[in-house]
């Protein structure tokens, strides 16, 4: 078991050293353009974080993968038409009732 922990720790250390130079991001400042064209981080990574953030606000601990994929598509569609909007505003507008 101890050997497994050492191997796991080494893998984590290698992954951390391979990470991008920028290690923190203020998601409130990411524009749709940056989101769509992977300028900050991979689009899917940001989308998954946003899903977790908004589900956390609603205290929802269930992941509906199909719904999440559909919501990502809606946000991407909105962003294509509004590249200067922040991605968090795009989420609010693209996923508001009636959209």
Tell me the per-residue pLDDT of 51-81, one tens digit each, with 9 for 90 and over.
Answer: 999 999 999 999 999 999 999 999 999 999 9
Q: How confident is the model at residue 21 (pLDDT cuts 50, 70, 90)?
A: low
Sorted by where each starts, the structural domains of the chain and their CATH numbers stand as 22-94 (1.10.890.10)
Query: What is the tally of helices (H) and strands (E) in the chain?
Result: 5, 0
Separation between Cα atoms, residue 94 and residue 21, nearest integer Å: 31
Q: pTM for the full model? A: 0.73
The answer to whether 9 touches 16, Cβ cutoff 8 Å, is: no
């Amino acid at each position: 078991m101890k050997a497994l922990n050492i191997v796991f720790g080494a893998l984590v250390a290698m992954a951390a050293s391979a990470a991008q130079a920028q290690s923190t991001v203020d998601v409130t400042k990411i524009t749709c353009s940056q989101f769509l064209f992977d300028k900050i981080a991979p689009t899917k990574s940001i989308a998954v974080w946003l899903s977790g953030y908004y589900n956390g606000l609603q205290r929802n601990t269930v992941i509906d993968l199909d719904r999440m994929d559909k919501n990502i598509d809606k946000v991407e569609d909105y962003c294509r038409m509004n590249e200067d909007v922040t991605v968090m505003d795009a989420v609010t507008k693209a996923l508001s009732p009636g959209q």
